[in-house]
Amino acid sequence: MPEPIKITFLGTGAAIPSLRRNHPAILLHYGGDYILFDCGEGTQLQLQKARVSPMKISKIFITHWHADHFAGILPLIESLHLSRRKKPLEVYGPEASRFIDALIELSYWGIGFEIIAHDCDEDKKIEKIFENDSYEIYAIKVIHSVPAFGYALKEKDTWNIDVKKAKKFGLTGIQMKKIKERGKIKIKNKVIKLEQVAKKRIGRKITYSGDTMPCKELFEFSKEADLLIHDGTFAEPMEKERPHSSAAEIAKLSKKYKIKKLILTHLSRRYKTTDEVLNAAKSIFKNTEVAKDMMKIILK
């Protein structure tokens, strides 16, 4: 069974928070990794509600430097400092170095641990910015009023050995391990390929848009994604000067690009319930939800 991917919506509101919706922040837990996508005001309090220690956070991916998406970093840093954190914290985003340097400068005495800033390349539409043995994370340039990126976590494909098939070829346990590593193995002048004795499991893909108008590159990269978490600030298309998306627009694109599940977030405070936004999307793309603060989902 694949490792479950757990997602907690810590904040799902737009520029002005409300009693029902905090500023944007999404916690992703995969294996031993705890990752934040955006870190709006109040994020560390939401982490407490979710019963997750901020000390576990290893990386923060900021979509853009509007305050509702990053204002929680400063108090989070201070809490980590007071908790005597020593492990480095990585922060990714457009112009991340500039903004992280400015935040660190606000401290009288330093913060006691290293913050490593990674700048997303604004000249690239899509860029792989992180990779480990299990997954890759991509930055995708989106359309907003300031430099902004969406992020996609793409799990690596894996192969599961069919032991019965492997034994028919006479493979030992050590040889099964080698064929997974190399893709093929030679036994007595006969080449056995991995696909002859194993089944491929396609890795899961999760995309988070951040704030954006409908963006072709984001949807092309997210084609057939297991989960798309997208800006759904408004129910219906708004004036062009508002660089956000509507539920109806995103539902149409999710259907076109065969997204498996759509969750809309970053709702305007004009909506007292989720009904209007949900109905606008669900009438077009059935597998749609509207995020709520502290909502949790698990991808298995």
Catalytic residue among 38, 68, 231, 293: 68
List the structure tokens of 271.
Answer: 């909506």
- Helix, strand, coil content of the chain in percent (nearest 5): 25, 30, 40
Tokens 């976590």 sit on residue: 153
Residue 68 among the catalytic residues:
yes
Contact 150, 218 (CB under 8 A): yes
Cα(44)–Cα(265) distance, rounded to whole angstroms? 19
Alpha-carbon span 157 to 163, nearest angstrom:
19
Residues 6+ apart with CB under 8 A from 251: 262, 280, 281, 282, 283, 284, 285, 288
* Spatial contact of 100 and 93, defined as CB atoms under 8 Å apart: no
Nearest to 12 by CA among 294, 242, 297, 298: 294
Round to whole Å and give the CA distance between 117 and 178.
38
- Count Cβ atoms below 10 Å from residue 204 Cβ, excluding itself: 20
| Structure tokens given for 260 | 């498996």
Which of helix, strand or coil describes residue 28? strand
Task: Give the residue from 50, 76, 54, 72 showing the smallest Cα distance to 62.
Answer: 72
Q: Which residues are catalytic?
A: 68
